[in-house]
Amino acid sequence: MKDVEGKVAIVTGGASGMGRIIALRLVNRGARVAIFDVNEEGLKTTAAESPQITPLRCDIGDLADVQAKVGQVESELGPVDLLVHAAALMPAHQLIDHSHEAMERLFRINYFGTTYMVRTVLAPMLERKRGRIIAFGSIAGHALVPHMGAYCATKSAVNTYLEVLQNEIRDSGVKVQLVCPPAVNTPLIDQSLNTDSPGSLRNAKQSGRLSDPEKIVDAIDKGVEKERDIIYPGEARFLMLWHAFAPRLWWKTVLGFEK
């Protein structure tokens, strides 16, 4: 994300966490950045860091709102050159306790919110035959844990959607990159810790083993620069391979934290 001088970018989830870090780095590199979030206080705080940041309240689970806000960005700032899609929800519940309504909302935000954002910016990018989309899936879509079945399912769907999309449009001039981070010490994690969080995540928080968001963004920067299709920052690749090649050991380990 270094060649952004004079470019127009949208960062979802820009009010906090890695979205905020990325938005601030982009403006420091000369981009004009619109940040989307529903956290109005966080939007104001982030926007106060630079006049190059335009804060917009946007519910990414509402297609009409997404289209309206992207249209506003195009009208006020210009064509969108870069989308960094980091917004998500991360509640934790055992599947037997997770209501249908809550799971539907989770899919609407995490999965359909991704498709709404991507499709809305992608069409004009394809017409111009240039642009970049960096979207956050999660290692949770590969390395599954108890108490987060619905979240893991949404991220499995996001991972699949983006990997297929990047290959379907590979020769279009538009680059799509998927980021699969591990558990990172951001406000998103607190959504899980404040509900029925898996023991492994509580242990990681208490022991200080959650990934540092600045270091994860550093790794994402390097992956983007190397044009990697799928970026596994921090310990993410190790976790994916562990679950893939030793699933019994994986489940024995993560379930051990529930005792």
> In what order do the strands lie in the sheet containing 82-85?
53-57, 32-37, 8-12, 82-85, 131-136, 174-179, 230-231
Helix H, strand E, coil C: the string for the chain is CCCCCCCEEEEECCCCHHHHHHHHHHHHCCCEEEEEECCHHHHHHHHCCCCCEEEEECCCCCHHHHHHHHHHHHHHCCCCCEEEECCCCCCCCCCCCCCHHHHHHHHHHHHHHHHHHHHHHHHHHHHHCCEEEEEECCHHHCCCCCCCHHHHHHHHHHHHHHHHHHHHCCCCCEEEEEECCCCECCHHHHHHHCCCCCHHHHHHHHHCCCECHHHHHHHHHHHHHCCCCEECCCCHHHHHHHHHHCHHHHHHHHHHCCC
- The single residue of 111, 116, 151, 161 carrying the catalytic annotation is 151
- The yes-or-no answer on residue 151 being catalytic is yes
Which residues are known catalytic residues?
151
